[in-house]
Amino acid sequence: MSDRRKIDPQTSLQAMHDTGPKLAAARAERVYMEEYRKSLKALLMKASPQSSAAMQERDAYADESYLLHLQGLRQAVEREEALRWKMVTAQTAVDVWRSQESSARAMDRAAA
């Protein structure tokens, strides 16, 4: 018997099943945060007392609420990436398991 660690494909498939909805929600949150960033900037520019667009933009980017929103966006991206890599890891485990099973069948045929 090989000293390779046995991979349980059912565990990996369950991990993919469990991670899918969480990844979808994380992606939706990240996209929302990215799109809302544009709206927030526009609202902050509109509220600025400055008359030039460049000065309004400067005020918007420096506003506390914009900076807080960027922190939230960073967290949303981090969460999405963590879940994406969990999904990639589970998918890769299934691929490795398939390869191991294929190799084992080939060795069985060669030994017969």
The pTM of the full predicted model, rounded to 2 decimals, is: 0.80
- Cα–Cα–Cα angle for 22, 24, 26, nearest 5°? 70
- Residues 57 and 66: their CA atoms lie apart, in Å, by 11
Q: Can you give the residue ranges of every domain in the chain?
A: 9-111
- Residues 112 and 105: their CA atoms lie apart, in Å, by 11
- Residues 15 and 17: their CA atoms lie apart, in Å, by 5
Which has the closest alpha carbon to 15: 76, 75, 92? 92
Dump pLDDT digits (tens) for 37-84: 999 999 999 999 999 999 999 999 999 999 999 999 999 999 999 999
Q: Which two tokens stand for residue 7?
A: 């991979």
